[in-house]
Structure formats: C-alpha cells, structure tokens
Chain A
Amino acid sequence: MAGTSQTPRVGRRPVMENVRVTIHAITVLGHDRPGIIADTTGRLAALGLNLEDSSMTRLRGHFAMTLVCAGAASEAEISAGLAPLAADGTLTVTVFELPDEDAAAEPGRPYVLAVHGGDRPGIVSSVTAEIAAVGGNITDLTTRLAGELYVVVAELDLPAAVDVAALGEAIGRVAAELGVEATLRPVEADEL
C-alpha cells in the first residue's frame, strides 16, 4: 500500500516451527454497534492468529472490516471461531485462505487523484478506467457521498513510463463529460 515502508509479505510466507502458517482474508460487515472490533480481534487472538493489514471503518453507518491475518488455524477453525459474531443476523462474516502469490510488482510513482462533483452513476468506473488503461495501480480509494456532492480520492502508483500529463488530460476529458472536477497530483512525502 502506498504510504507504508513495509514490503508486502505476499509470497514470503513464514514457517514457524514446522507449522504451516497460512494467510486468511476476513471480512465482517453489517450493523454497527460498540464492541465489534474487540469481539472479532479477541476471537482471532484466541485462535493464535496475528492481525496484519486491516481496514475498519463505517460506510454510510454500516460497519465494514476487512483484514488479513496469519497463523496456523485452518479456514474451518477460523469460521467456527467467528461464527458467534453472526449469530444474531446483524453481521456477515466471511473467511477464506489467500493463495501463496508472487510478490507484488515494484511500486511506481505515487499520485493522488481527487474527483468531486454532482452525484451520478459511473464516476468511479470512468475515471479509474483511464488509470487502468495506462497500467496504473490504485492502492487506496475512498468515496464519500455528502448530500448531492460525490467525492472520490484515490492513491495510485503509476509506472515510470506513464506520461502523467497525458493521463491528467485524459482524466480531465472524462471528468468534463461527467460534469465533475478532477485533480491529479504527485504525493508529497517529507522524509524526516
């Protein structure tokens, strides 16, 4: 992910004392209430799982957790351990093992794309299609709907060969067709 200095551990699965360590992706979605995170992570800890990258937020008031964890527990064991979370029907839990993949490609140059304007269908798909067309990789994206205003902020890695000015113009043309504003800027990181 942009903004972190850690190398993604994809493809470098650790071995702990001859126990096969697996990586699982877990999602917990549904009605928000106090205690979901404490409950979920407590159950994962009880299974000996190590919480790695995660995103836990509210989307239009609904709780949305996506996380990746590492450990020796099987998918069945994790599913059984988290089952009580979904018992009252207000939360949906999914668990699946992630395949052992090759390491992610070298990160490119980081940019931030901001788009805002009147809400209408197709804003995200149209703008992200321009990024995909040049091989740009979106590493983080947030959308917010506030009344009539729709806002998209995306962080992207662009391969070194990409003509950024041309990409900015292409995004600008799409934005104009949609009647929204778009700004593409390099990420400014201050090394301390």
Chain B
Amino acid sequence: MWFLPFLGLFAGAALGYLLNIEIPAHLVKYFSVAFLAALDTIFGGIKSIQNGSFEGILLITGFFTNMLVAGFFAYIGDSIGVDLYLAAVFAFGVRIFSNISQIRHNIIAKYFKINRDDNDE
C-alpha cells in the first residue's frame, strides 16, 4: 500500500498532462503556491505517519487552509504590488525542509536504532 501515494503522484501528473489545462498567466502563481502547499502537506503527512500522530481530516483541512491562505497572500500581493506570495513560498519551503529533515531522522533512527532527540536537526 505504501506505493499508492507515488502512484497518485504519477496519476496526478498524467491527469495534468492529459487535461493540458492552459491556465491564464495571472493564475500561475496560485498554482505554484498550491503545488508547494501540496508538497508541504505530503511531507507533513509522512512525518506524522512516522510519528503516529496522523489525522486525515487534519491533514486535508491543513492542506486546503494553507492553499487558500497562500492564494489569498498571492492575490493581496498582486493587488498592492508586493510579491507577498513569496512569503507563502518561503514558509512552505522552510516547512518542507524541516519535515524532510525529521523524516530523515526518523528513518535513520528506525533502521540504525539511534536514540533521537525530538528537536534535533
């Protein structure tokens, strides 16, 4: 079952490729931010699965909330002439890196039986 998310990734890519939606230029930002939000949610989800604190509803709502807020930021940023969506990009980027780091720690701890401090990078 673990391969299902990977399959989903490819299925989504295939869907996007087949639908070949031509998005208007001013919506590209939203899509890229949405992509980052999805990536963030994926790594967050993996981490919470490893931690055993996974809640599907939390993840889904978090995903959509993050996406909406990021989209809102992008919109506001466009309106006032500041690239505010970069804040969302930055936040997602930082979270993705920290999540990956924790996932790595978890995996290493699992396979090498290393005692792990929770807040250690």
A and B bound?
no
